[in-house]
Amino acid sequence: MGTNLLSEEFRAKYKGDKMIVSVIDTGFDPYHRDFVLAEDVATRYNEASMNEMIQKLGLPGKWYSNKVIYGYNYADNSDVLLSTDEHGNHVAGTIGANGNVEEGGIQGVAPHVQLLLMKAFSEDQVSSSVYEDVWMKAFDDSIKLGADIINMSLGMASGFNMQGNTPMARAMQKA
């Protein structure tokens, strides 16, 4: 049996229509069965408009589906989003999965959001950490693509000051 992460009353009221959520994390499966969007859901981007944005902004990623409207592996500079670490998929699913619960699928907190899947961890075991310049590029591209929410679950030292002129402070101020 599938899992519903929220009460029926809450899910009926808030579904994330026309919202863009960027997930900056480990790898993803952009073709996962629960990363779907019903045809009647109001969206901000379709394939043509997203491809136009990618071209206009000179971004490295690509369109995957009406649900996963953009994805890129910023750590390895490739389109390979899959990973041996499934944490990114777990986070993106908790946020926006829209699977068929009757068939064992998962429904996330906001099943109607469109997702930007930004892989920030390399599969190279020598450099499997996340580097500030990598996640900051994914963060900046998320802003350029109009993300309403940016979720980062990076597992690195936390705590920063939003004031000042450091690259991290400037990125947060820009967002």
Concatenating the DSSP letter of every residue in 56-77 gives HHT-S-B---SSEEEEEETTTT
Residue 161 to residue 175: CA distance in whole angstroms: 14
The residues that bridge with 116 in the sheet, in sequence order, are: 22, 70
Q: Give the angle subtended at the CA of 81 by the CAs of 113 and 99, to the nearest 5°.
A: 40
pLDDT classification of 49: cutoffs 50, 70, 90:
very high
pLDDT value of position 1: 45
79-104 pLDDT, tens digit per residue, is 999 988 889 999 999 999 999 999 99
pTM: 0.84
DSSP 16-49: -TT-EEEEEES---TT-TT----TTS--S--HHH
- Residue 149's SS3 state is strand
H or E, element range at 173: helix 167-174
Spatial CA neighbour of 69 closest among 23, 100, 105, 26: 23
Q: Determine the longest span between alpha carbons in the chain, in angstroms.
A: 51
What integer is the mean pLDDT of 68-89? 93
Task: Report strand pairing: 3-4 vs 20-25.
Answer: unpaired
Let me know: does 18 contact 44? Beta carbons within 8 Å: yes
104-156 pLDDT, tens digit per residue, is 999 999 999 999 999 998 887 666 677 788 989 999 999 999 999 999 977 65
Q: What percent of the chain stands above pLDDT 70?
A: 83
